Structure 1
Amino acid sequence: MTAAASPGRDVVLETDRLLLRPWRVAEAVVQRELWTERDPRVPPHRRIDAEGHPTVAELEDYIRANPPSSSLGLLAAERKADGEVIGYCGLIDGRGSHGEPELAFELLQRVWRQGYATEASSAVLDWARSSGYERLWSTVWDWNTASLRVLAKIGFTETERQEKDPVRGTTLFLTKRF
């Protein structure tokens, strides 16, 4: 994996099969597709609502307003072989401890079970380590066994912390120390 990031420059991570890079406005349609594919147990604020929001135009505006920094952000995962954006992976200011970001990833269903999530997440771990982070978090629903497998492969372990929701299941908090 190679990485390039400096103040005022875009973050680009490269693996054997992927480029992880800032989103382009035209790729809002991919983000919208991710929203439409989400499991119905995902909280409503993370799914398309009854009025059809977020729209592609709203997602375009979001991309314009939220470029990744040199050490935080959700990067588009582009397959090098065909240039198709298949999802995202990156670091967010999540629900872990202050100053310790959360690893997040989501891929289009048509590319599941091909190792892309593990590959992208490994590159983001290297990015996090080189950015000076000592620990990362990840939160995942207990029913999301595929994501739990990815996190186990890259060295995350469960903590005692959980958030139980009688409708959606239990959110597990995992961590990885460098």
Structure 2
Amino acid sequence: MLDDLRSPGDLTGLWRPVTAFGRTLVTTRRQDAALRGHRRRIHQADVFTESEAKAYLTTSHDRTCAWEIVLMAAGETAGLEGVLETDRLLLRPWRVAEAAVQRELWFERDPRVPPHRRIDAAGHPTVAELEQAIRAGRSSAGLLAVERKATGDVIGYCGLIDDGRRFEGEPELVFELLRRTWGRGYATEAAMAVVEWARSAGYGRLWATVWEWNTASRRVLEKLGFTKAGREQVDAVHGSSLVTTRRL
């Protein structure tokens, strides 16, 4: 049993082969695509009581699975206090008190961004709704808060998501920072740290989708070595969405 896994990269070279003799149980707060694979079973779970833990470990389970991976519910700080660090930035899980930063990101998005990614006429999502999402681990799975070390303030997010739109095990790089922090190289610095982490974790390729009119994000992706892989959609209101990729 491997308890409270902090990085999928820690399992590099340790995934044991499927045999008839037992399984390996991993518990983690992470939701990375790298955890998924052949003969690995994923379970969503809340915090175990002592009796529930004993019951789970003594129950007979499907022997065709070599690995049982339990995704534990996130607490107030959604897991680790520190994950990736650069010269100027700390990339770590979101905290509930930072929901207002998430709402500011929603509020200042370009009008050309589709409505479902902007605050609606009724004011949703509210700060309270975003707080609940952070508590449940829904809004921050795979997306780390970007904190400036010098000032301690959170200025956006950066991370990897795997929504199944591309290929299994090839997640998408995403990042978004508050407008007042643009032009200082933070996005490139944060994204590079995530790319390097992905390489060390064993990923072979990453994807990134960007609006054609979003020249700032396109420059960041170019600096990171992403190249165009096609044009995903053309919309008279929102513009063209470009698909880029990078092999690691």
After TM superposition, the score normalised by the length of structure 1 is 0.91
Contact 1:143/1:169, CA 8 A, preserved across alignment? yes
Instruction: Output the aligned Cα RMSD.
Output: 1.8
1:117 Cα deviation after fit: 0.2
Counterpart in the other structure of 2:209 = 139
Contact 1:96/1:138, CA 8 A, preserved across alignment? no
The alignment status of 1:28 with 2:99, answered yes or no, reads yes
Contact 1:22/1:67, CA 8 A, preserved across alignment? no
C-alpha deviations, 1:141-177, integer Å up to 9, x for none? 0000000000000100001242111210010000000
Unaligned segments of structure 2, at least 5 residues: 1-5, 11-26, 29-78
C-alpha separation between the residues in 2 aligned to 1:156 and 1:31?
A: 26
1:68 Cα deviation after fit: 8.9
Query: Which of residues 41, 48, 57 in structure 1 aligns to 2:119?
Result: 48
Aligned counterparts, 1:122-137, within 5 A: 122-137=192-207
SS at match of 1:91: strand
C-alpha deviations, 1:37-72, integer Å up to 9, x for none? 100000000000000000001101111112799xx6
Q: Which stretch shifts more, 29-38 or 92-101?
A: 92-101
C-alpha separation between the residues in 2 aligned to 1:24 and 1:162?
A: 34
The alignment status of 1:91 with 2:160, answered yes or no, reads yes
Counterpart in the other structure of 2:21 = none
Q: Which amino acid aligns with 2:152?
A: G
C-alpha separation between the residues in 2 aligned to 1:86 and 1:66?
A: 19
Contact 1:90/1:105, CA 8 A, preserved across alignment? yes
Aligned counterparts, 1:75-114, within 5 A: 75-94=144-163, 95-114=165-184
SS at match of 1:105: strand
Contact 2:229/2:243, CA 8 A, preserved across alignment? yes
Decide whether aligned partners of structure 1 residues 80 and 67 sit closer, same or farther in structure 2, where only a CA change above 3 A counts.
farther
Unaligned segments of structure 1, at least 5 residues: none
Higher relative contact order (CA 8 A, sep 6+): 1
SS at match of 1:90: strand
Matched length: 173
The alignment status of 1:13 with 2:91, answered yes or no, reads no
Contact 1:67/1:73, CA 8 A, preserved across alignment? no
Larger Rg: 2
C-alpha separation between the residues in 1 aligned to 2:234 and 2:169?
A: 24
Q: Which amino acid aligns with 2:213?
A: W
Contact 1:160/1:173, CA 8 A, preserved across alignment? yes
Contact 2:92/2:144, CA 8 A, preserved across alignment? yes
SS at match of 1:160: strand
After TM superposition, the score normalised by the length of structure 2 is 0.66
